[in-house]
Structure 1
Amino acid sequence: MSNSSSARAILPEGWPQPRGYANGMVAEGRVLVTGGLVGWNAEGVFAEGFIGQLRQTFLNIRAVVEAGGGHVEDIVRLTWYVTDIPAYRASLKEIGPIYREAFGRHFPAMAVIGVSELVEPEALLEIEATAVIGG
Protein backbone atom coordinates (compact mmCIF):
# COMPACT_ATOMS: atom_id res chain seq x y z
CA MET A 1 0.00 0.00 0.00
CA SER A 2 1.33 3.41 -0.85
CA ASN A 3 0.72 6.22 1.56
CA SER A 4 -0.69 9.16 -0.38
CA SER A 5 -2.24 10.64 2.72
CA SER A 6 -1.46 13.97 4.29
CA ALA A 7 -3.30 12.78 7.42
CA ARG A 8 -1.42 12.90 10.68
CA ALA A 9 -2.39 12.19 14.24
CA ILE A 10 -2.61 14.99 16.79
CA LEU A 11 -1.24 14.42 20.28
CA PRO A 12 -1.39 17.37 22.67
CA GLU A 13 1.81 17.97 24.62
CA GLY A 14 1.94 15.96 27.82
CA TRP A 15 -0.88 13.57 26.83
CA PRO A 16 -0.18 9.83 26.88
CA GLN A 17 0.08 8.07 23.52
CA PRO A 18 -3.30 6.41 22.84
CA ARG A 19 -3.31 2.72 21.95
CA GLY A 20 -5.23 1.74 18.82
CA TYR A 21 -6.68 5.16 17.98
CA ALA A 22 -5.77 8.86 17.66
CA ASN A 23 -7.16 11.69 19.75
CA GLY A 24 -7.44 13.78 16.61
CA MET A 25 -6.37 13.87 12.98
CA VAL A 26 -5.51 16.68 10.58
CA ALA A 27 -5.46 16.30 6.79
CA GLU A 28 -5.92 18.16 3.51
CA GLY A 29 -7.58 16.80 0.37
CA ARG A 30 -10.88 15.44 -0.95
CA VAL A 31 -13.25 14.15 1.73
CA LEU A 32 -14.78 10.68 1.31
CA VAL A 33 -17.54 9.77 3.76
CA THR A 34 -19.01 6.29 3.91
CA GLY A 35 -22.45 5.36 5.03
CA GLY A 36 -22.81 3.01 7.95
CA LEU A 37 -21.20 -0.19 6.67
CA VAL A 38 -22.08 -3.59 8.11
CA GLY A 39 -20.58 -7.07 8.09
CA TRP A 40 -22.18 -8.51 4.98
CA ASN A 41 -20.59 -9.49 1.70
CA ALA A 42 -21.46 -8.27 -1.82
CA GLU A 43 -24.40 -10.72 -1.91
CA GLY A 44 -25.85 -9.29 1.33
CA VAL A 45 -24.92 -12.35 3.41
CA PHE A 46 -23.76 -11.57 6.94
CA ALA A 47 -20.60 -13.10 8.36
CA GLU A 48 -21.10 -15.22 11.47
CA GLY A 49 -20.66 -13.69 14.93
CA PHE A 50 -19.25 -10.40 16.13
CA ILE A 51 -15.66 -11.06 15.00
CA GLY A 52 -16.77 -12.36 11.58
CA GLN A 53 -18.93 -9.28 11.02
CA LEU A 54 -16.17 -6.99 12.25
CA ARG A 55 -13.66 -8.49 9.79
CA GLN A 56 -16.14 -8.13 6.90
CA THR A 57 -17.02 -4.57 7.91
CA PHE A 58 -13.34 -3.61 7.90
CA LEU A 59 -12.95 -5.15 4.43
CA ASN A 60 -16.04 -3.27 3.24
CA ILE A 61 -14.63 0.04 4.52
CA ARG A 62 -11.33 -0.61 2.79
CA ALA A 63 -13.15 -1.48 -0.47
CA VAL A 64 -15.17 1.76 -0.43
CA VAL A 65 -12.12 3.92 0.37
CA GLU A 66 -10.09 2.25 -2.39
CA ALA A 67 -13.00 2.56 -4.85
CA GLY A 68 -12.97 6.28 -4.07
CA GLY A 69 -9.30 6.52 -5.03
CA GLY A 70 -7.92 6.38 -1.50
CA HIS A 71 -5.90 4.13 0.75
CA VAL A 72 -6.55 3.00 4.31
CA GLU A 73 -3.96 5.54 5.49
CA ASP A 74 -6.35 8.25 4.28
CA ILE A 75 -8.96 7.29 6.88
CA VAL A 76 -9.14 9.99 9.54
CA ARG A 77 -12.17 8.82 11.55
CA LEU A 78 -14.10 5.63 12.32
CA THR A 79 -17.36 5.73 14.27
CA TRP A 80 -18.50 2.33 15.48
CA TYR A 81 -22.08 1.50 16.49
CA VAL A 82 -22.15 -1.76 18.45
CA THR A 83 -25.25 -3.59 19.68
CA ASP A 84 -23.39 -5.53 22.40
CA ILE A 85 -20.68 -3.56 24.21
CA PRO A 86 -19.81 -6.52 26.51
CA ALA A 87 -19.15 -8.63 23.36
CA TYR A 88 -16.96 -5.82 22.02
CA ARG A 89 -14.99 -5.64 25.28
CA ALA A 90 -14.65 -9.43 25.42
CA SER A 91 -13.21 -9.41 21.87
CA LEU A 92 -10.53 -6.74 22.31
CA LYS A 93 -7.62 -9.19 22.01
CA GLU A 94 -9.08 -10.55 18.75
CA ILE A 95 -9.93 -7.13 17.34
CA GLY A 96 -6.31 -5.89 17.12
CA PRO A 97 -5.01 -8.51 14.68
CA ILE A 98 -8.16 -8.29 12.55
CA TYR A 99 -7.90 -4.51 12.47
CA ARG A 100 -4.24 -4.69 11.39
CA GLU A 101 -5.14 -7.19 8.61
CA ALA A 102 -7.42 -4.59 7.05
CA PHE A 103 -5.80 -1.26 8.02
CA GLY A 104 -2.23 -2.03 9.01
CA ARG A 105 -0.88 0.12 11.82
CA HIS A 106 -2.89 3.20 10.83
CA PHE A 107 -5.00 4.34 13.78
CA PRO A 108 -7.36 7.27 13.07
CA ALA A 109 -9.65 9.03 15.51
CA MET A 110 -12.31 6.57 16.68
CA ALA A 111 -15.42 6.38 18.79
CA VAL A 112 -17.33 3.25 19.83
CA ILE A 113 -21.00 3.78 20.69
CA GLY A 114 -23.35 1.20 22.19
CA VAL A 115 -26.78 1.11 20.52
CA SER A 116 -29.85 -1.00 21.21
CA GLU A 117 -30.27 -2.12 17.59
CA LEU A 118 -29.39 -1.34 13.99
CA VAL A 119 -31.57 -1.10 10.88
CA GLU A 120 -30.35 -4.46 9.58
CA PRO A 121 -31.67 -6.96 12.16
CA GLU A 122 -28.70 -9.35 11.73
CA ALA A 123 -26.08 -6.59 12.07
CA LEU A 124 -24.08 -6.66 15.30
CA LEU A 125 -22.15 -3.52 14.42
CA GLU A 126 -22.06 -0.72 11.88
CA ILE A 127 -19.10 1.56 11.17
CA GLU A 128 -18.92 4.92 9.42
CA ALA A 129 -15.59 6.06 7.98
CA THR A 130 -14.25 9.43 6.92
CA ALA A 131 -11.19 9.63 4.70
CA VAL A 132 -9.29 12.61 3.30
CA ILE A 133 -7.73 11.66 -0.01
CA GLY A 134 -4.71 13.37 -1.52
CA GLY A 135 -3.51 16.75 -0.44
Structure 2
Amino acid sequence: MSTITIHPEGWKPAKGYANGVVAEGRVLFVGGQIGWTAQQVFESHDFIGQMEQALRNIVEVVEAAGGEVRDITRLTWYVTDKQEYLARQSEVGVAYREVMGYHFPAMTMVVVAALVEDEAKVEIEATAVLPASA
Protein backbone atom coordinates (compact mmCIF):
# COMPACT_ATOMS: atom_id res chain seq x y z
CA MET A 1 0.00 0.00 0.00
CA SER A 2 1.27 3.43 -0.74
CA THR A 3 0.46 6.62 1.08
CA ILE A 4 0.96 10.18 0.00
CA THR A 5 1.75 12.81 2.59
CA ILE A 6 -0.08 16.08 1.95
CA HIS A 7 1.70 19.33 2.75
CA PRO A 8 0.08 22.50 1.39
CA GLU A 9 2.40 24.83 -0.47
CA GLY A 10 3.66 27.71 1.64
CA TRP A 11 3.00 26.02 5.00
CA LYS A 12 5.79 25.72 7.56
CA PRO A 13 7.13 22.15 7.72
CA ALA A 14 5.27 19.82 10.06
CA LYS A 15 7.58 18.44 12.75
CA GLY A 16 6.83 14.89 13.85
CA TYR A 17 3.48 14.60 12.10
CA ALA A 18 1.83 14.96 8.69
CA ASN A 19 -0.86 17.54 7.92
CA GLY A 20 -2.65 15.00 5.77
CA VAL A 21 -2.27 11.51 4.35
CA VAL A 22 -3.95 10.01 1.28
CA ALA A 23 -4.22 6.21 1.20
CA GLU A 24 -6.22 3.47 -0.49
CA GLY A 25 -6.96 0.01 0.92
CA ARG A 26 -8.74 -1.68 3.84
CA VAL A 27 -9.29 0.68 6.78
CA LEU A 28 -8.43 -0.53 10.29
CA PHE A 29 -9.63 1.49 13.27
CA VAL A 30 -7.58 0.79 16.39
CA GLY A 31 -9.31 1.60 19.65
CA GLY A 32 -7.53 3.74 22.20
CA GLN A 33 -4.48 1.99 23.59
CA ILE A 34 -3.03 2.82 26.96
CA GLY A 35 0.35 2.01 28.46
CA TRP A 36 -0.41 -1.41 29.84
CA THR A 37 0.74 -4.80 28.59
CA ALA A 38 -1.34 -7.45 26.83
CA GLN A 39 -2.15 -8.75 30.32
CA GLN A 40 -3.52 -5.28 31.26
CA VAL A 41 -0.68 -4.59 33.69
CA PHE A 42 1.11 -1.24 33.91
CA GLU A 43 4.82 -2.04 33.93
CA SER A 44 5.60 1.68 33.82
CA HIS A 45 4.06 4.46 35.84
CA ASP A 46 6.06 6.99 33.83
CA PHE A 47 4.65 9.02 30.91
CA ILE A 48 7.40 7.98 28.46
CA GLY A 49 7.15 4.30 29.37
CA GLN A 50 3.38 4.34 29.01
CA MET A 51 3.55 6.23 25.73
CA GLU A 52 6.00 3.71 24.29
CA GLN A 53 3.86 0.76 25.44
CA ALA A 54 0.69 2.32 23.98
CA LEU A 55 2.46 2.72 20.62
CA ARG A 56 3.72 -0.88 20.80
CA ASN A 57 0.13 -2.01 21.48
CA ILE A 58 -1.04 -0.15 18.38
CA VAL A 59 1.66 -1.75 16.24
CA GLU A 60 0.67 -5.21 17.54
CA VAL A 61 -2.96 -4.64 16.55
CA VAL A 62 -1.93 -3.37 13.10
CA GLU A 63 0.39 -6.35 12.58
CA ALA A 64 -2.34 -8.76 13.73
CA ALA A 65 -4.50 -7.35 10.92
CA GLY A 66 -1.71 -7.95 8.36
CA GLY A 67 -0.26 -4.46 8.31
CA GLU A 68 2.89 -2.72 9.43
CA VAL A 69 3.91 0.62 10.92
CA ARG A 70 3.99 2.39 7.54
CA ASP A 71 0.26 1.59 7.13
CA ILE A 72 -0.69 3.77 10.11
CA THR A 73 -2.23 6.94 8.70
CA ARG A 74 -3.54 8.71 11.81
CA LEU A 75 -2.88 8.86 15.56
CA THR A 76 -5.01 10.69 18.10
CA TRP A 77 -3.31 11.19 21.46
CA TYR A 78 -5.08 11.91 24.74
CA VAL A 79 -2.69 13.09 27.47
CA THR A 80 -3.46 13.99 31.06
CA ASP A 81 -0.49 16.32 31.65
CA LYS A 82 0.38 18.86 28.97
CA GLN A 83 3.31 20.25 30.97
CA GLU A 84 4.95 16.84 31.32
CA TYR A 85 4.50 16.15 27.62
CA LEU A 86 6.08 19.50 26.68
CA ALA A 87 8.91 19.20 29.20
CA ARG A 88 9.87 15.76 27.88
CA GLN A 89 9.72 16.45 24.12
CA SER A 90 13.18 15.06 23.38
CA GLU A 91 12.36 11.83 25.27
CA VAL A 92 9.01 11.64 23.49
CA GLY A 93 10.82 11.82 20.16
CA VAL A 94 13.33 9.11 21.08
CA ALA A 95 10.61 6.76 22.38
CA TYR A 96 8.37 7.45 19.37
CA ARG A 97 11.16 6.65 16.90
CA GLU A 98 12.03 3.49 18.86
CA VAL A 99 8.60 2.10 18.02
CA MET A 100 7.47 3.96 14.89
CA GLY A 101 10.79 4.79 13.23
CA TYR A 102 10.62 7.89 11.09
CA HIS A 103 7.00 7.29 10.08
CA PHE A 104 4.89 10.34 10.90
CA PRO A 105 1.16 10.00 10.15
CA ALA A 106 -1.45 12.70 10.61
CA MET A 107 -1.73 13.36 14.35
CA THR A 108 -3.86 15.18 16.86
CA MET A 109 -3.16 15.62 20.57
CA VAL A 110 -5.85 16.42 23.10
CA VAL A 111 -5.30 17.26 26.77
CA VAL A 112 -7.88 15.57 28.99
CA ALA A 113 -8.63 15.78 32.71
CA ALA A 114 -8.40 12.02 33.19
CA LEU A 115 -8.61 8.66 31.46
CA VAL A 116 -10.86 5.75 32.47
CA GLU A 117 -7.93 3.75 33.87
CA ASP A 118 -6.68 5.80 36.82
CA GLU A 119 -2.99 4.89 36.27
CA ALA A 120 -3.05 5.81 32.57
CA LYS A 121 -1.19 8.96 31.57
CA VAL A 122 -1.76 8.65 27.81
CA GLU A 123 -4.20 6.93 25.46
CA ILE A 124 -3.59 6.76 21.72
CA GLU A 125 -6.00 5.63 19.02
CA ALA A 126 -5.00 4.91 15.44
CA THR A 127 -6.27 4.48 11.92
CA ALA A 128 -4.36 2.35 9.46
CA VAL A 129 -4.99 1.66 5.78
CA LEU A 130 -3.92 -1.87 4.91
CA PRO A 131 -3.24 -3.27 1.47
CA ALA A 132 -6.33 -4.78 -0.12
CA SER A 133 -4.64 -8.20 -0.17
CA ALA A 134 -3.69 -8.26 3.54
Q: Which TM-score tier does this pair reach, normalised by the shorter chain?
A: over 0.9
Shift, 1:97, TM fit = 1.2
Is the contact made by 2:45 and 2:119 (CA closer than 8 Å) also made in structure 1? no
Aligned mates of 1:130, 1:64 — CA distance in 2? 11
Deviates more, 1:19-28 or 1:8-17: 8-17
Aligned mates of 1:35, 1:77 — CA distance in 2? 12
Shift, 1:24, TM fit = 0.5
**Structural mapping, 1:44-83, within 5 Å:** 44-46=40-42, 47-83=44-80
TM-score w.r.t. the length of structure 1 is 0.94
Q: CA offsets per residue over residues 57-112 of structure 1, 9 Å max, x none?
A: 11101101111111110111000000111111111110111111111111000011
> Are residues 1:14 and 2:10 paired?
yes
Task: Give the number of aligned pairs.
Answer: 131
1:27 aligned to which of 16, 23, 26: 23
> Are residues 1:108 and 2:105 paired?
yes
- Structure 2 counterpart of 1:49, one-letter code: D
- Structure 2 gaps of 5+ residues are none
- Structure 1 gaps of 5+ residues are none
Q: Which residue of structure 2 aligns with residue 43 of structure 1?
A: 39
Q: Secondary structure at the match of 1:112?
A: strand
Deviates more, 1:110-119 or 1:8-17: 8-17
TM-score w.r.t. the length of structure 2 is 0.94
Q: Secondary structure at the match of 1:119?
A: coil
The two structures, once aligned, show a CA RMSD in angstroms of 0.9
Larger strand proportion, structure 1 or 2? 2
Deviates more, 1:41-50 or 1:102-111: 41-50
Q: CA offsets per residue over residues 19-52 of structure 1, 9 Å max, x none?
A: 1000011000000001110000012111221011
Is the contact made by 2:34 and 2:124 (CA closer than 8 Å) also made in structure 1? yes
Shift, 1:13, TM fit = 1.1
- Structure 1 counterpart of 2:47, one-letter code: F
